[in-house]
A and B are shown apart, each in its own frame.
Chain A
Amino acid sequence: DTGVSQDPRHKITKRGQNVTFRCDPISEHNRLYWYRQTLGQGPEFLTYFQNEAQLEKSRLLSDRFSAERPKGSFSTLEIQRTEQGDSAMYLCASRAQGVNTEAFFGQGTRLTVV
């Protein structure tokens, strides 16, 4: 068990460019979450996958954001036409089934839009 890994750890991009982040969850976890965290704030929920199905999306997730989890394994989060307001830490978490189970978080991808 190598934990949840995210790639890249840091991304600097110019406004208007597209970026894609990857998350590899713990292999036996069927649930995967994406969160966004800005400075001084707690993580905010973006979207949730159960296996390959995207079951919930936050209103924070504008139409420039899309997430996938093909085959129920790794997940990608793409941001199109990035804006400076997209600058944040993007966190991925995976979790086994059950309301009381712990969510394991990756170290995040820090996005800076210049």
Chain B
Amino acid sequence: AQSVTQLDSHVSVSEGTPVLLRCNYSSSYSPSLFWYVQHPNKGLQLLLKYTSAATLVKGINGFEAEFKKSETSFHLTKPSAHMSDAAEYFCVVSLSGGYNKLIFGAGTRLAVHP
């Protein structure tokens, strides 16, 4: 069965410091992986996606993620946090079968302090 585990439910950083949000996946096949962000009272927005073209994926707003097959990880990083980055972040796997439905992790709430 395919699944996603986000290792931290809450992460707190100071503005200007690096961000690391951890995600591990379980998949029998080569997965498609996504990171979505959800700001309060806003819809889910795609940050980036991995589709096997390149293991280091760059997304919007300075975020990037690295696919590591040996570690079954897809951690999200950003060199310098901004106050506007405070939100809920979801790691998502797209099933290779089963109509490609998206399976979400439980989410990581990122807090950014001045």
Q: Which residues of A contact B (CB under 8 A)?
A: 3-4, 31, 33, 35, 40-45, 48, 50, 55-56, 91, 93, 95, 98-100, 102-103, 105-108
Cβ contact within 8 Å between B101 and A41: no
Residues of A within 8 A of B41 (CB): 107
Q: Which residue of B lies closest to A50 (CB)?
A: B99
Smallest distance from the beta carbon of A29 to chain B beta carbons, Å? 13
Smallest distance from the beta carbon of B30 to chain A beta carbons, Å? 10
| Contact A99/B100 with A42-B106, A42-B107 known, Cβ cut-off 8 Å | yes
State the CA gap A84–B47 with chains docked (Å).
Answer: 33
Cβ contact within 8 Å between A102 and B34: yes
Residue of A42, A56, A93 near B90 (CB, 8 A) is A42
Residue of A4, A56, A103, A108 near B102 (CB, 8 A) is A103
Residues of A within 8 A of B101 (CB): 33, 45, 48, 56
